[in-house]
Structure 1
Amino acid sequence: MTMLASTIQVQPDMSSLTPRQLIPRLQADISAVLKPLMSDARPALVDFPNHGNVGDSAIWLGEIAFLAREMGTRPAYTCSTATFSADDLRRRAPDGPILIHGGGNFGTIWRHHHQLRLDVLRYFPRRPIIQLPQSIHFDDDEAIRETADAIRRHGAFTLLVRDRKSFGFAQEHFDCPVHLCPDMAFCMGPFSRLRPIVDFLCLMRTDAERVSGMTIPDDASSRIVVDWLEESRQDLRRTRLFARFGAVWRGEGISGHTPTVHDALAWRRFRRGVATLSQGKIVVTDRLHAHIISVLLGLPHVVLDNSYGKLGSFIDAWTSNCVGLERATNMAAAMERGRRLLVAGISGWR
């Protein structure tokens, strides 16, 4: 297959960088890749993550922050997989690029999100579409061929990926410009953590990307073991109600799918994630955005990989030399490294 021009960012020397030093460098890398692809017209941003996974909300808020800071705008149209309307998108965002939410759903693990991507390519041929930074994973050759065909037929698709494994895969299979770019959540910038209540917060996957056999060894350390997918329906209803009231007050209409409501839901979920991670003096996790948000919080943490190597590939590309980050291949090693961080009492590392 003949490929169009692709680029790869050369990672700067990041040895012994604190999170406060690392975050602006990654923001600059994002701007260098994405800003030249944008236009003056207001974009659409599709595939709002209307679910409890905190990481996807962090990505969404980073995407909104990039548009506000770098482009001086916000999306003219947003939607989730359930509310996408090609007609509404054309009416509300007739001219700008179509941005597709970043994350880890490019491929066959989360098929309903990937189907929305294919639908957007089919409905908007030749209109610039930018896939914001994704990790790619396919376990079906036919799905790869279907995606490659959709990209080729569309003719104006740009793919941003957040690790070199995905970059190589995209270069091999897809006929479009491909760029290596950090995760958009870094555009949120640093945050302050809350006061910890235990030694270890173990945030471990319980979904399709989990690795079996991740048993936490029994010792005397105080710990909380949790995932962050569960959320209060009552809190979500209250958040939607307040956001809609604010939209009416500002004359923005009452649609439940306005950017205002989407942003409010994302902030609710992100704050829940911050509160969850902050419970531990040390975080142990196999979720990529528990790693990324720990960096944003200046929180020491130990990372294990998910089912297809997403975390390791991302860390190798962007955050491997971040102070306060340790990596492990099994839970026993992760807890041992976490105890070392605890004893070291990482201070002033932000």
Structure 2
Amino acid sequence: MPGHLAAASDDAGGRGAGGEDKARAIIRWRLFKRSSNTTASDGSGDTIDDEHDVDLDAVKPSDFYGPERSPPPPNAPRLFCILGDIENDASYYTRAWEISNRRFARAQKSLGELHLQNKEWDKAREAYQLAVGVNRLSSELWNRLGDIELLLGNFPDAAEAFQRAIATANEKVGGEDARTWSNLGTAFLSWYREVIAEAKARKEKMKADEVHNLDDMTSTKRAVDLGRSASQLLQDSLTAFKRGATVANTNWRVWDNVITIAASLKPNPAFDDIIMGVKSLIRIRQTESALDIEILTLLVREATKSAAAADNGDGSVYCPPRGTLESKIIMLFEQDIVPLITTNSGCWDLVSRLRAWRQAFRAPWMHPRRPGVRR
């Protein structure tokens, strides 16, 4: 058709001049009848049945503000959504939802995004809840709903949404999955903090002999209903962050979260996870600023709490059995941390403390030794 050829030649991309206006005109032509004050200058009349007789270059958006066509075209819900995108009009998303008999999830997704742009958080949440209600296998929709629930502070609902996003992701591996796992960890961590805050507030109203360990208490109605203790929520958060770190193995921020939560577990921190996280941070960042003095102090304190190496009496170097926590901490310091230290005196103090505990004053402590042997 000549009109199409002319439009295609207007730019190198073949889209023609005024691409958005042209799309808007065609969509309005498909959905609406002519405005009462306009006439068809191209002889097309007011029908859409014979599209080949219509000069699309002559179609203008202002010509089609009449009543909706009846019956609507088969793809009317999608066209209404596209028109809503172009004209930034929520009413078209609502119409798409209605005309699809409340089955076109894209309409509620678009409506939700428009509400988010306007910072109408509760309306956005409602829209995405409707969207996942008709498309429960969309990882994208569950993810977005989780983001909104997290923003609103609905941490149990956020955790549920992210778990559903993971379950429907078809084992996809990539940054999006890592983001979902990380957000799930954040939801559990925020829920844990909410539980602790409420438990502490409750403690102030109770007698001392009626208070249980805060880490074993459940709080908030959802936590009670699900039987989740604060310690379980923190463990769930660690599990999620570890999975996210495994998927995005070069994202040091996720590994930093793993370290922080592993160190927060009570009564026993997850030392193996802390060591793995510190090694990963060093591998990724390769800078002295990656070293957290508080975390390293925790490791040295754990390694040196036994007096076994300090009372050998013969000046030999103590080498813990291979595979023990003490051995892992020593290997971390000597092989990964020492080569990285330049000016951090706090780190050197910890290295000195660890070596003094081992009686490693003069020996080449980097050399391998048989487990449990003192030299």
Structure with the higher fraction of residues in strand conformation: 1
**Higher RCO (C-alpha under 8 Å, 6+ residues apart):** 1
